[in-house]
Structure 1
C-alpha cells in the first residue's frame, strides 16, 4: 500500500462492547456462544481527493459509489413480541464496506399505534459517529392517500438535511390513482427526478420489488432504481427487517444520491413496515419451519 491510499477501517470488538462510532449499537455474535467475537466491521475509507467544494461534508463517500445496499437490522424485541422498535440500518457499498449507519428516532406511542404512518427523525452517521444526513418525516393519517396527495396535509413527505440544519431537498408523494409516484426535489422544491413503483406491491411475494427513478426533464430517461430485495422465508415472515439496493449514475449530484437514500426509507415505511400477524400466522409459520427441518 503506497502513501496515497487509505486503508479501510476494521473493527473487531468483542460481544457486548460498543462499536467505535458513538451512538451506534454493537453487533453481536451467534446466540448462545459465550465469548463469541463480533464479525469485523469494515468501514469505507473517506475519499480525500478530487472533491468539489459544493459537496456537503460527510457526503464525500457518495462520490465514489454508483450503488449502495441498505440492510435493516433484525430487532430481537420484535421477534419475541408485537412491540415496534426504532429501526436501525447499515448502509454498505458493493464491497461490503459500511458507509453509514442510520437510526430512527420516534415516539413509542406513534410506533405502536401508527406503524408505517408514523413521523420520525432518521439520524445517518459516518464511521466516526458524526451525523452527516438527517431525515425528517411528519405523521400522516392515511397510508393509501395517493389519490389526494395534491394536498400537503395528505401527501407523504421527507425532508433531507446535509449537513444537519441545511435542507438539500425533499421527497414528496405525487397524486396517483394506481402507480405510486414520488418527486425528488432540490432545496427550492424544483422536481429533478421522480420515482414510479409497481402497480401492486405484493407482501410476502418471493421476488424483488423495483421502484424506477426517472429524469423529471424528459420523463423517459431512467437514471436509477430502488429495489426491495427478497431476503429469505424466515426473515420475510417473522420480521420487518428489509434489504434494499439503490443504484444511480456515478456522476449524479451527491445531494440527489442522498435524497434517494431518504426516498428508500420513505418507501420502506409506506410499503414494507407492516405489522407481523404472529397470532394469525402461527400455524402456517410452524408448518413452514417444520418443512425446513
Structure 2
C-alpha cells in the first residue's frame, strides 16, 4: 500500500479513540442526523474525523425506516481534511459486509464480515483477495470488548467501548471506542481493524437509545 495519507494517519499510533459527535439540535428534536466521529490519539488530540455520507430525502427516509440496517457510505479524514479511507456497506437483514477502499486509487483494501454466533458478536477480517487473516470476537455475553485474534490464534489487541460521564452519555448517546493498533499489523490490516471499530458502533450501538425501526 503506497498511500501516504494512510501511512501518516496510523504512523506511531498504538491506540486510537473513535468518539461519536452529537449535535444538541438532534437531541432536542429527537431526530438522528448523519453519524459523525472524532478520531483522537492517546493524548486526547484530534488526529482526524469520520463522516457518514449522503444527503437528500431518500437518505433521510432510509435512516428513519431502515435504521442501522441501511446502506452506508463513510469517509475517514485526516486532520487536514483529506480522505484517508472509504467504507461502504450495503443494506442487510442479519449480517453486514463492509468494504474498505483506498480513495486515491479506488482499489479494495479489504473487507469485514459479520458472522453468525450465539450470544456474542463476531467479525471476520479479509484482505483484498478475500482471504481471512484475523477475527474479532466479543466473547460470550460481553458486547463492550472485542478481542482481535489472528487465524493462528495470536491475540493482537482489542476494541473497547469506553463509558465516559454517565449523564453526558445519557443525553448525547456519545459512544467512544478505543482501538488497539498493534505494531505487528501491516498498514492494510490496521485499516481493517480501525474500520471494524466504526462498523461495530453502526451495527450494535447506534439504535440503543432511539425509537424502534422497521427491522428492530
The answer to whether TM tops 0.5 is yes
Unmatched runs of 5 consecutive residues or more in structure 2: 212-216
Q: Which residue is equivalent to 2:146?
A: 211
Task: Give the SS at the match of 1:170.
Answer: strand
**1:136 is aligned to 2:84:** no
TM-score by length of 2: 0.87
Tell me if the contact between 1:77 and 1:85 (Cα under 8 Å) persists in the aligned partners.
no
**1:120 is aligned to 2:72:** yes
Tell me if the contact between 2:156 and 2:184 (Cα under 8 Å) persists in the aligned partners.
no
State how far apart, in whole Å, the 1-side matches of 2:176 and 2:200 are.
Answer: 12
Q: Which has the higher strand share?
A: 2
Task: Give the SS at the match of 1:121.
Answer: strand
Within 5 A, what are the aligned runs for 1:138-177?
138-141=90-93, 145=94, 155-164=95-104, 165-177=106-118
Q: Deviation per CA, 1:179-233: give whole Å up to 9, x if none.
A: 221011100011011000133357xxxxxx21000011x12x1101000111222
Q: Which residue is equivalent to 1:91?
A: 39
C-alpha RMSD of matched pairs (Å): 1.8
TM-score by length of 1: 0.66
**1:105 is aligned to 2:45:** no
2:168 to 232, 235, 238: 235
Pairwise CA distance, 1:261? 1.5
State how far apart, in whole Å, the 2-side matches of 1:259 and 1:65 are.
Answer: 15
Pairwise CA distance, 1:79? 1.1
Unmatched runs of 5 consecutive residues or more in structure 1: 1-53, 146-154, 203-208, 279-293
Q: Which protein has greater RCO, CA pairs closer than 8 Å, 6+ apart?
A: 2
Q: Which residue is equivalent to 2:214?
A: none
**1:273 is aligned to 2:214:** no
2:127 to 186, 209, 215: 186
The alignment covers a number of residue pairs equal to 205
Pairwise CA distance, 1:275? 5.0
Larger C-alpha radius of gyration, 1 or 2? 1
